[in-house]
Structure 1
């Protein structure tokens, strides 16, 4: 999810009354809710689980178990520095380190739970497993969830009561659960739709505003197919199935390119629906790797990698 959504999730938790448990409680929840995205600064790291976005720091080990105590310790050190310089108000609540750690854990848990909802997916059990998990419950930026969380925070602060923030969190959870159900229905409808595919991988991407609609992408026997699902038009079928395209991943030249450069190896470790385009000119072949989940024009430059190989 986008970082505004992550921030609002931590802030909404704080407004339920948790921010008053300790000084810097609000900071702990909001920062912890964003903390796993620190991996975007470590793309250079030699350790693949850390260099991989939505890998180690988004998993249960790195993001949920190990990182929160470090955040709590940093906030405690910042507080000690502020106290030593007289920057803490006399009527400020006390700092309770135990609560600071607990709130850091609580905020951190929200991050993988939200990122699990979109087709980008996360490696939930990294570094023990490289398997990607996704529920396809939300578009990567959901205006509906933003409105729920933002409205709950605004009402909670205006009325100085935590019930509105709690209600917003509950409404968000129900909204996500309902959308997970729609995506599950979409996947089942695909199996019941002609020509009755038996895919090895399926993604049901929600639309940003018309959240009940799904863009379907699936792979079967090395062929990528696309379709649409709208439960209001027919809950038991996937429509709009256009021309399928081969992913070309089994071609010998593509297999060679997949191992040819560190960028290609890294890209294919991340990609869950890889496709390859091969262009040969003279004695040089250009292999472009992309991901079928992100094939729109706006994504084309950011979600591919190119490998040049001799073809003679």
Structure 2
């Protein structure tokens, strides 16, 4: 999730646990700092664009490492500000662990189980920025800081409960759309090997569905306010004819694994590209990489990965997003 949401979640948890023992602003500040710490891994340069993508949300997001870090951070704070070590330990643990657990709800991939497993877990029921996750947290937190006392803490807990309830709702909505998408796909003669259901930006009313079947992928959109039970899908080539050329290219294999198979291959002149289909929508994606060149004699030479890809026209995208969220059957911007 975005940094503001992590700050708001950590601060809310800090006030909820420590708000009776120390000044609410101090509890909020500590919680915000702890919930931000795991994302400091973005400051590490792993050497190339692909490594920087796939190694983000790695060891700094491991539940084990964060749980072991919590008492080490809590002990000096308890000695310095008082309030009891157990309270500080609980607040710090919650603030640290909820960072990767919140990230888990996005589609990117979070390695929660390191060092035992390198698998990038992802639920994918939340967009990376969603106001309905963030605003209740901020509202409750600001009330707690303004009102203080038991009344302020109640508002803080209410904001936390509303945000958690909305996150739970996102999973229910995702499953509902997935069931409908699969039924609609079967009715159209499709038998996908992989199915991805993720929300469109900023909401959980409109969902993007990607079906991977053999050498193609199908993209469709479904609003919870759409009428009828049929989804329309557009068919695109995955470029799998290029797979043998890119099989020896390590960077391409990293993206293939990290994306859980939701990728496409392409060739532009001499350059060979791989694109993660999970983040973005056709034809614009966040993570596309040039990973190799094909020489005149047909040989493929790996190159230092370079991130490529255009940006969506925000005004045009929003002009489509809002009415499409409300159930208007508009084609996506291309």
Q: Normalized against structure 2, the TM-score is what?
A: 0.74
**Deviation, structure 1 residue 73:** 5.4
- Equivalent residue of 1:211, what SS? coil
Structure 1 residue runs of 5 or longer lacking an equivalent are 80-92
The equivalences for 1:61-210 within 5 A come to 61-63=64-66, 65-72=67-74, 75=77, 79=80, 94=82, 96-160=84-148, 161-193=152-184, 194-195=187-188, 197-210=190-203
74 and 222 in structure 1: CA distance in 2 versus 1, 3 angstrom threshold: farther
Shift of the 189–247 alpha-carbon distance from structure 1 to 2, 3 Å rule, reads farther
Residues 104 and 123 of structure 2 are in contact (CA less than 8 Å); yes or no, is this contact kept in structure 1?
Answer: yes
How far the C-alpha of 1:227 sits from its partner, in A, is 0.6
Q: Secondary structure at the match of 2:266?
A: strand
Structure 2: gaps (5+ residues): 300-334
How many residue pairs align between the two structures? Answer: 287
Deviation above 6 Å: which 4+ runs of structure 1?
48-51
User: 1:144 and 1:274 mapped to 2: Cα distance?
Assistant: 30
Structure-2 separation of matches of 1:10 and 1:148:
13
The alignment's TM-score, normalised by the length of structure 1, stands at: 0.79
Aligned 8 A contact 1:218 1:225 in 2: yes
Q: Does 1:218 align with 2:211?
A: yes
Which whole-Å CA distance do the structure 2 matches of 1:286 and 1:162 have between them? 57
Instruction: Evaluate the alpha carbon distance shift between residue 302 and residue 191 of structure 1 in structure 2; reply closer, same or farther with a 3 A threshold.
Output: closer
RMSD: 3.1
Matched, 1:54 2:57: yes
Task: State the shift of 1:278 in Å.
Answer: 2.2
- Decide whether the 8 Å contact of 2:109 with 2:258 is kept in 1: no
Q: Are residues 196 and 100 of structure 1, via their aligned partners in 2, closer, same or farther at CA, if it must alter by over 3 Å?
A: farther
Pick from 247, 259, 265 the counterpart of residue 276 of structure 1.
265
Q: Secondary structure in 1 aligned to 2:235?
A: coil
Superimposed CA distance per residue, residues 274-302 of structure 1 (whole angstroms, 9 cap, x where no aligned partner): 2211245xxxx421111112345996575
Shift of 1:230: 1.5
Deviation string, structure 1 residues 64-105 (Cα, Å, up to 9, x no partner)? x2332343357579x4xxxxxxxxxxxxx5253343222110
Q: Name which of 273, 278, 288 aligns with 2:273.
A: 288
